[in-house]
Amino acid sequence: MIRFGIVGFGLHAEKRMMPAFSLAKNSKAVALSRRTMEKAKESSAKWNIPVAFDSAAELARSPEVDAVFVTTPNYCHISDVLTVIAAGKPVLCEKPLAMNASECKQMVNAAKKAGVPFGVAHIFRFEDSVNKIRDRVAVGQIGKPIFARSEFSFPGSAAHPRKWLHDMSVAGGGPIVDIGVHCIDTLRYILQDEVVKVSARAMHDQLSGPMEAAAALLLEFSRGTLATVCVSYRAGYRSPLEIVGTDGTLFAMDGLNVERPITLQLIRDREVVESEVVSNTSAYAIMLDSFADSLEGKGTFRAPAEQGWQNQEILDAAYRSIKSWNTEAVSFVG
């Protein structure tokens, strides 16, 4: 059993991670940290987590902790991850991995130098819906992928519980970095291919200020697939996922949803020829146990930090495209 400490125990930890730990088979939350000891003790008592800290450094040094999950706001990731690495503890970090690709490089190189396992919490790589689509594409069920799309929207109003959502200095960007990174990573994972060029356009409004309120990205993959990613803080919750090939289409209306059943459809000649209902409710628990198992030599974690770095290279290229109005090339991690 791998004992996890959670750095930055907030909304995400309460809504997603604690239910996941309750389902996990090889992972247990034993410690947490928050910005003040008072808040840390409140969360510790509420969730029956034995040890509370008010700093990432103290948590990482605790002998009670085998691995650390960093769930702090985006701008804190580099500091918190480097702190955990310095303590020699394996670290799993929420997405986006950092504020830019330069920070990602620094974190990945530090982990390699220290020999510390380092993963990124790209949760959708652990969903049943995404993996079934990936497997079907891999065996050629729809022929050669021509088009792909992944969209993600939710109403990110000023009253959203994540108070820093509209603060550029904390978030690093709007829905492109927050949920667009999910779409990008999912398409890369399903297609098992890399994005070489990006074109992007953004919409702004009074609430978003310098950050985008919505955006559309065109991704060009190395084997020719063209993909679109549309994200928004203004539309209702939706996450359609579609791969269109020479011999058919795979479609899931809410392909990235973890809260309710998802219907996967195989479509040929405008007719649904196969339909399957799957559930992603255990995805977070599966991710935790996958990381835990990898630490015990029982498997390979499918979202190493290098994947988060590569996604950040695409995010950076998208923001360059918005500013330049040009198609931008994507750098490759190496």
Average pLDDT over residues 133-150: 98
pLDDT of residue 159: 67
CATH 3.30.360.10 for domain 127-280+312-329, yes or no, is: yes
pLDDT band at 158 (very low <50, low <70, confident <90, very high): low
What is d(CA 300, CA 32) in angstroms, rounded to the nearest whole number? Answer: 26
Tokens matching residue 303:
């979202």
Average pLDDT over residues 225-249: 97
What is d(CA 251, CA 263) in angstroms, rounded to the nearest whole number? Answer: 8
Q: CATH code for 2-123+286-303?
A: 3.40.50.720
Q: What is the pTM of this model?
A: 0.96
Give yes or no for a cis peptide into 175 (omega within 30° of 0).
no
Give the rounded percent of residues in the chain with a pLDDT score beyond 90. Answer: 91
Alpha carbon 84 to its chain's center: 20
pLDDT of residue 206: 82
pLDDT of residue 334: 74
pLDDT band at 166 (very low <50, low <70, confident <90, very high): confident
Residue 19 · residue 283 · CB < 8 Å: no
H-helix or E-strand containing 109? helix 101-114
pLDDT in tens, 35-86: 999 999 999 999 999 999 999 999 999 999 999 999 999 999 999 999 999 9
pLDDT at 201 over 80: yes
Average pLDDT over residues 81-100: 98
Say whether 127-280+312-329 and 2-123+286-303 share the same fold.
no
pLDDT at 210 over 90: no
Please give the mean pLDDT across all residues of the chain. 95
Q: Measuring CA to CA, which residue among 326, 321, 281, 317 is closest to residue 129? A: 281
SS3 of residue 247 by DSSP: coil
DSSP character string of 249-300: EEEETBTT-SSS-EEEEEEETTEEEEEEEE--TTHHHHHHHHHHHHHTTSS-
What is d(CA 190, CA 145) in angstroms, rounded to the nearest whole number? Answer: 10
pLDDT of residue 251: 98
pLDDT of residue 79: 98
What is d(CA 329, CA 317) in angstroms, rounded to the nearest whole number? Answer: 7
Domain ranges of the chain: 2-123+286-303, 127-280+312-329
SS3 of residue 142 by DSSP: coil
pLDDT of residue 322: 98
Average pLDDT over residues 147-156: 94
pLDDT band at 280 (very low <50, low <70, confident <90, very high): very high
Q: Measuring CA to CA, which residue among 101, 56, 102 is closest to residue 82? A: 56
Average pLDDT over residues 1-19: 94
Q: Measuring CA to CA, which residue among 56, 68, 71, 74 is closest to residue 312? A: 74
- Helices (DSSP H) in 139-240: which residue ranges? 168-171, 175, 181-191
Q: Measuring CA to CA, which residue among 272, 193, 279, 176 is closest to residue 229? A: 176
Give the CA angle between residues 44, 78, 58 to the nearest 5°.
Answer: 40
